Amino acid sequence: MLAAASPAWAQTATSRLVPFRQGSKWGYADQSRRLVLPPRYDEAGPFVEEIAWVRQGPLYGYIDGGGNPVTPLQFTRATSFRRGRATVELNGETFDLSSTGQRLSEPAPAEPEEEPLEHGDLVRKEGKVGFRFTVGSGSVPALYDEIRENYNGLLFVRQGAKWGVIDSRGKLVQSVRYDAIRLTGNLMFPVVQLGQLFGYLDEEGNALTDVRYPQAEPFLDDLARVLAPDGQPGYINANGQEFWE
C-alpha cells in the first residue's frame, strides 16, 4: 500500500551527530562513525533542530549537541522535534514542548497543504494513466494503473500490485517490481518494500541501500532508524552509511 504523501522539505540538513549503538548502549558518533558522546543511554534518537531525545530505563528526556540536558529524564513518551515543538507524555498527560524545554499551551499550527500533483498533469487513456510534465518536454505514456508524485521530481507508478519509479525526464529508473513504496517523512528518500524487507531510494530514484532491513522508518532530515538484519536497531544516513557496531 502506498501511504499518503506529506509535504516535502526543500533541503535536507546534514546531522553533525548520529545515534550510534555499541553493545546494548547508545551514544553519538560523527559522520565518520567516530564516537563523540559516549554510549550511556538505553536508547537515543536523532538530532532534529539541534535537540535529541534519549531514554534511560522507562524515562525519556532531551539533550543538546554537547550532551547537556534540555529537560530531565522524566517523560514516558517523547517525539523528535518538528517545527520547533515535540510531543511528550508526563503523568498520563500529553502536551507539546518548546525547544527550550518549556510546556506550550497553544495548539500546533496547521500543516501546509500540498496540491495532489505539483509538477505536471495526469493523462488518461483507455483506463490507464500517464503523466505530462509542466516543465520541459518529458512525458510518461498512459501504461499505468496509478501515478503518485513525491514533490521532488519523482513519480511512483503502479501496474497491478507492483510499483516502480520514474524520474523528472520520464525515465523509468526503478522497474515496476516493488510491493510497496512508502511516502512519509522526508520524501527525498522513499522507503521501498520487497516481501518482508525494506530499503531506501535516493533523491534521484536510485537505490540508496539494498532492500535488507526487517523494519525501516522514514528519514528525519538526513537520518533514518532501521532494524539491522540481525534484528537490532540502528541508523543510516543520507549516503546509506550504517551507524552501529
For the stretch 219-244, pLDDT in tens is 988 899 999 999 999 999 999 999 99
Residue 29 pLDDT > 90: yes
- Calpha distance 172→186 (Å, rounded): 22
Instruction: Go through the chain and tell me how many residues it has.
Output: 245
Task: Provide the edge-to-edge strand list for the sheet that holds 197-200.
Answer: 180-182, 191-194, 197-200
Sort strands 215-216 and 223-227 into parallel, antiparallel or unpaired: antiparallel
Residue 60 pLDDT > 90: yes
Confidence (pLDDT) at 119: 72
Residue 193 pLDDT > 90: yes
Confidence (pLDDT) at 67: 95
| Averaged pLDDT for residues 86-110 | 92
Confidence of residue 13 (pLDDT cuts 50, 70, 90): low
- Calpha distance 34→242 (Å, rounded): 13
Task: Tell me the pLDDT tens digit for each residue of 33-44.
Answer: 999 999 999 999
Residue listed under C-alpha cell 505530462: 132
Cell matching residue 44? 537515543
Please list, in sequence order, all residues whose beta carbon lies within 8 angstroms of the beta carbon of residue 35, skipping any fewer than 6 positions away: 20, 22, 27, 28, 29
Residue 6: left if φ>0, alpha if ψ -120 to 50, beta else—which one? beta
- Calpha distance 133→193 (Å, rounded): 27
Q: Are 202 and 210 in contact (CB under 8 A)?
A: no
Q: What is the 3-state secondary structure (H, E, C) of 86-140?
A: EEEEECCEEEEEECCCCEECCCCCCCCCCCCCCCEEEEEECCEEEEEECCCCCEE
Over the Cα atoms of the chain, what is R_g? 20
| Averaged pLDDT for residues 8-15 | 54
